[in-house]
Amino acid sequence: MTAPKPSSLAFVPFVSVANMMEIVHRIGLENMLRDLAEYIEDDFRRWELFDKTPRVASHSAEGVIELMPTSDGEVYGFKYVNGHPKNMKEGLQTVTAFGLLADVGTGYPVLLSEMTVLTALRTAATSAMVAKHLAPKGSKTMAMIGNGAQSEFQALAFKAICGISSVRLYDIDPAATKKAMQNLEGWGLSVTACRTPEDAIEGAAIITTCTADKQYATILTDNMVGAGVHINAIGGDCPGKTELHKDILLRSDIFVEFPPQTRIEGEIQQLDEDYPVTEMWQVINGEVQGRRDNRQITLFDGVGFAIEDFSALRYIRSKLEETGLYQKLDMVADPDDPRDLFGMVQRAKS
Ligand SMILES: NC(=O)c1ccc[n+]([C@@H]2O[C@H](COP(=O)([O-])OP(=O)(O)OC[C@H]3O[C@@H](n4cnc5c(N)ncnc54)[C@H](O)[C@@H]3O)[C@@H](O)[C@H]2O)c1
């Protein structure tokens, strides 16, 4: 007996890493960052209708594995993501991810996708979209502290979305800075390698911290941060893992994604549980003011929230037909008689 062939209902579109890279080149990296920022901003505008929960984290001595679910009532999505700072020294990625969308009406999956590359893109698009609302108008220079896997995506998102023209790089490991220098060549940015974080922030209106360490770190001390800057702090995203000295937080207006998650994982874990913060979706909807004046320090305490991944998957799904860059995975069992799952299995016996 030959195994029954899967029906069309069995197949779920799957975007592999190879296909994701091809999508990036087909659309163009900066176009894709701009598109993703629009999708993310649209979902921040309808923030209230989403199911929201802090991500479900499983911590170990080496790192964390997390599930990030959400739904807009029609489509459900989740991302699986890890964070293992020691991986890099073993030749592995600090962050790897994949994600899924499903139809709320049937519960059937409608997309499975790699999200290691997509997470870097969505994180950069989110940071730049937020900075568009908070950073001083006309900001041209960004300091980029931490020159690992996320860094070039951040630099190019700030160019494409906020119009920066110059990036000042610093990493404790000069090899990381050298890699980022080389990768950013020919992208139309003026790039400077700096020897110290103090040197990197010289003249920068935007400071991005994107370092990986499983501990409280002080990437920026209070005296390094002058009036009027926007800080995009995205590397501290776990309990016990922060990047900024507490005094900087006390001088800043703090903007977050979803407070119940950020209070556990973000820079604000250093502050009292009820310390006032502003939710970014309210700024985007015009309900709350973002930047008030040119002396204010704005801080985006970005930890990465499920809705941003949902937006990114929604975008990739919208590109499937146009690009054809996916495979069909036989992922859903589809017996002729829905109650005859057993019979379907038996008929597959060789
Ligand atoms: N907020 C979000 O949405 C979001 C999304 C993805 C990743 N992240 C976090 O961003 C961080 C960076 O991710 P990545 O994939 O680029 O990691 P990575 O390991 O590729 O790079 C991290 C870099 O930080 C450098 N570094 C460590 N300590 C430093 C210090 N004190 N000063 C300067 N540089 C230092 C390392 O040398 C390394 O080059 C991770 O902590 C990750 O969990 C956050």
245: nearest Cα among 274, 212, 221: 221
183: nearest Cα among 210, 211, 150, 158: 150
Pocket test for ligand 1, best of 153, 210, 231, 269 (most atoms within 8 A of CB): 210
Tell me the CA–centroid distance for residue 315 and ligand 1, in Å.
Answer: 25
Domain encompassing residue 229: 128-304
In a domain, 294, yes or no: yes
- Asked whether 123 lines ligand 1 (CB < 6 A), one says yes
Q: Are residues 160 and 245 in the same domain?
A: yes
Q: Is the dihedral of CA 6, 9, 10, 13 positive or negative?
A: positive
Q: pLDDT class for 2, splitting at 50, 70, 90?
A: low
Average pLDDT over residues 228-236: 95
What is the pLDDT at residue 112?
Answer: 98
Tell me the CA–centroid distance for residue 41 and ligand 1, in Å.
Answer: 24
Q: Are residues 35 and 158 in the same domain?
A: no
Rounded to the nearest integer, the mean pLDDT of the chain is 95
Structure token digits, residue 335: 């017996």
Instruction: Kindly report the protein residue whose alpha carbon is nearest to atom 28 of ligand 1.
Output: 211
Q: What is the CATH number of the domain that holds 284?
A: 3.40.50.720
Quick check: 267 pLDDT over 60? yes
Measured between alpha carbons, how far is residue 139 from residues 26, 177, 284 in Å?
Answer: 30, 22, 19
Tell me the CA–centroid distance for residue 237 and ligand 1, in Å.
Answer: 10
In a domain, 161, yes or no: yes
Tell me the CA–centroid distance for residue 94 and ligand 1, in Å.
Answer: 8
In a domain, 3, yes or no: no
Q: pLDDT class for 3, splitting at 50, 70, 90?
A: low
Average pLDDT over residues 210-220: 83
**3 state DSSP class of 84:** coil
- Asked whether 198 lines ligand 1 (CB < 6 A), one says no
- Indicate if 309 belongs to the active site: no
Pocket test for ligand 1, best of 55, 62, 211, 221 (most atoms within 8 A of CB): 211
In a domain, 122, yes or no: no
Q: What percent of the chain has pLDDT over 90?
A: 90
Number of domains in the chain: 2
- Asked whether 266 lines ligand 1 (CB < 6 A), one says no
pTM higher than 0.85, yes or no?
A: yes
In a domain, 205, yes or no: yes
Q: Are residues 54 and 166 in the same domain?
A: no
Go through 290-317 and write b for each residue having 16 or more CB atoms within 10 A of its CB, e for each that does not.
Answer: bbeeeebbbbbbbbbbbbbbbbbbbbbb
What is the pLDDT at residue 5?
Answer: 79
